[in-house]
Amino acid sequence: MDSNNELIQKINEKYISMGLEPEAFYKGLLYSKPINYWDYIEVESLLSLQKPRTDYPDEMVFIMYHQVTELLLNMMTHEMHQVCNNENLTADYFIEKLGRMNRYIQMLANSFDVMRLGMDPNQYNEFRFSLTPASGFQCASFRFAEIYSTDIENLLDTRVKGNLPANYDTAFLFENIYWQAAGKDHKTEKKSYLLNLFEEKYLDKFIAMANEYKTKNIWQKYVAMPEKDKNNPALIQALKDLDIEFNIKWPIVHLRAAEQYLDNGSKVIKATGGSDWKKYLHPMYQKRVFFPGLWSKEELDNWAKDYD
Ligand code: HEM
């Protein structure tokens, strides 16, 4: 810890080196009010961001849990960004950051009962009509996490995966990415309103980001590690945990919540986004795997089957 004199000396040097008068900053310190919790955390702004479209009280649960999800996904991508852009990545740092990502996605997977059990089904099945045609499908934060995590080739529709033409570009990959199945008619290639709107808003950004992270996504960072780090069991486990949490556990709990509200046993209700959701949302069908090189052929063939 610096003594007061040393601190003052350093502050003087800092502002003088910038061509500024240190005295003005000391006066600023003298007059400014100490920070408080509510301003620092922006509590009032945060709590003014819930704007229900109906008077059903449970619409607030729906909005706030989606907002919680956005925050946690952004905590994840904040860690992902640091790993991908670290040019001196060590196994210890990588494991530490993966641990953080895994805890965030675990929080989401473990708390999804807030959605599955925490809303009155009658209220949900009324207020949801005021959201049509919006859908959680349009949540870009999930797609950013995917692009940070792996090569887009690993996110392709299973009908295209492994059958790529000799030459292709990133736009071609996004045209064949797994999530097209939520809104594109495979035979006619016609896209739904939900999908068109999503692509209009985000596709250029996804393509630019995928190009930027082609050589430095989490999988590529792992591949570039020295052999001894690549064989580090803790690193391998942390990567596999991310695959399990993000690509199996969260999709399963999400699907179970969708079933709770949209499938009463005798009738499957159309979702606000309009996908063939019962099939589309199942991780066994999507087979989204960030790190296929870490799993055996048998494990990949049986992806998510044990979690059904
Ligand atoms: C009762 C609550 C929920 C229900 C009934 C539900 C239902 C659905 C359905 C049916 C879809 C398929 C697309 C469509 O046709 O709309 C979907 C997609 C999606 N939802 Fe939800 N959802 C719920 C809560 C949430 C929450 C809290 C989030 C968090 C942001 C979320 C994020 C997503 C994402 C990311 C997708 C796309 C999944 C993928 O592409 O694999 N959902 N949801």
Question: Virtual CA dihedral for 182, 183, 188, 189, nearest 10 degrees?
Answer: -100
pLDDT at residue 269 in the model:
85
Q: What angle do CA 290, 293, 299 make, to 5 degrees?
A: 85
Instruction: Provide the domain limits for residue 149.
Output: 60-307
Residues 17 and 127 reside in one and the same domain: no
Among 137, 142, 276, the mutation site with the greatest number of ligand 1 atoms within 8 A of its Cβ is 137
Is the C-alpha dihedral spanning 168, 173, 176, 180 positive or negative? negative
Residues 150 and 28 reside in one and the same domain: no
CATH code, domain carrying 112: 1.20.58
Q: Which atom of ligand 1 is nearest to the CA of 281?
A: 41
Q: Is the pLDDT of residue 45 over 90?
A: yes
Q: Which atom of ligand 1 is nearest to the CA of 182?
A: 13
Q: What pTM does this model have?
A: 0.94
Which pLDDT tens digit goes with each residue over 169-212?
999 999 999 999 999 988 898 999 999 999 999 999 999 999 99
In the structure, what pLDDT confidence band is assigned to residue 30 with cuts at 50, 70 and 90?
A: very high
Is the C-alpha dihedral spanning 144, 241, 154, 302 positive or negative? negative
Whether 38 maps to a domain, the answer reads no
Q: How far apart are CA 198 and CA 192, in angstroms?
A: 10
Residues 108 and 231 reside in one and the same domain: yes
Residues 236 and 271 sit within 8 Å (Cβ to Cβ): no
Closest protein CA for atom 6 of ligand 1 = 258
Q: What is the mean pLDDT of the chain?
A: 95
Whether 212 maps to a domain, the answer reads yes
Cα of 112 from ligand 1 centre, angstroms: 11
Whether 268 maps to a domain, the answer reads yes
Residues 19 and 167 reside in one and the same domain: no
Residues 87 and 9 reside in one and the same domain: no
Q: Which amino acid is at 298?
A: E
The candidate with the shortest Cα–Cα distance to 149, out of 195, 116, 102, 87, is 102
Whether 44 maps to a domain, the answer reads no
In the structure, what pLDDT confidence band is assigned to residue 43 with cuts at 50, 70 and 90?
A: very high
In the structure, what pLDDT confidence band is assigned to residue 68 with cuts at 50, 70 and 90?
A: very high
pLDDT at residue 49 in the model:
98
Whether 87 maps to a domain, the answer reads yes
Q: Is the pLDDT of residue 1 over 80?
A: no
Cα of 90 from ligand 1 centre, angstroms: 36
Residues 114 and 261 reside in one and the same domain: yes
Cα of 252 from ligand 1 centre, angstroms: 11
User: What total number of domains does the chain contain?
Assistant: 2
The candidate with the shortest Cα–Cα distance to 301, out of 284, 278, 281, 277, is 284
Residues 157 and 248 reside in one and the same domain: yes
DSSP 54-88: SS-THHHHHHHHHHHHHHHHHHHHHHHHHHHT-TT
Residues 189 and 291 reside in one and the same domain: yes
Whether 18 maps to a domain, the answer reads yes
Residues 165 and 24 reside in one and the same domain: no
Closest protein CA for atom 31 of ligand 1 = 136
Residues 92 and 201 reside in one and the same domain: yes
Question: b vs e for 174-205, b when ≥16 Cβ sit within 10 Å of the residue's Cβ?
Answer: bbbbbbbbbbbeeeeeebbebbebbbeeeeee
Which is more confident, 274 or 89?
89
Which pLDDT tens digit goes with each residue over 229-239?
999 999 999 99
Whether 184 maps to a domain, the answer reads yes
Q: How far apart are CA 32 and CA 91, in angstroms?
A: 44
Closest protein CA for atom 8 of ligand 1 = 258
Q: Is the pLDDT of residue 266 over 90?
A: no
Closest protein CA for atom 36 of ligand 1 = 137
Ligand 1, residues at Cβ distance < 6 Å: 65-66, 69, 115, 135-137, 139, 142, 179, 182, 254, 257-258, 261-262, 271-275, 277, 280-281
- Residue 48, classified by CB atoms within 10 Å of its CB into exposed (0-12), middle (13-18) or buried (19+), is exposed
Q: How far apart are CA 132 and CA 125, in angstroms?
A: 12
Q: Which atom of ligand 1 is nearest to the CA of 70?
A: 30
In the structure, what pLDDT confidence band is assigned to residue 308 with cuts at 50, 70 and 90?
A: low
Closest protein CA for atom 12 of ligand 1 = 277
Whether 45 maps to a domain, the answer reads no
Q: Is the pLDDT of residue 116 over 80?
A: yes
Closest protein CA for atom 20 of ligand 1 = 136
In the structure, what pLDDT confidence band is assigned to residue 272 with cuts at 50, 70 and 90?
A: confident
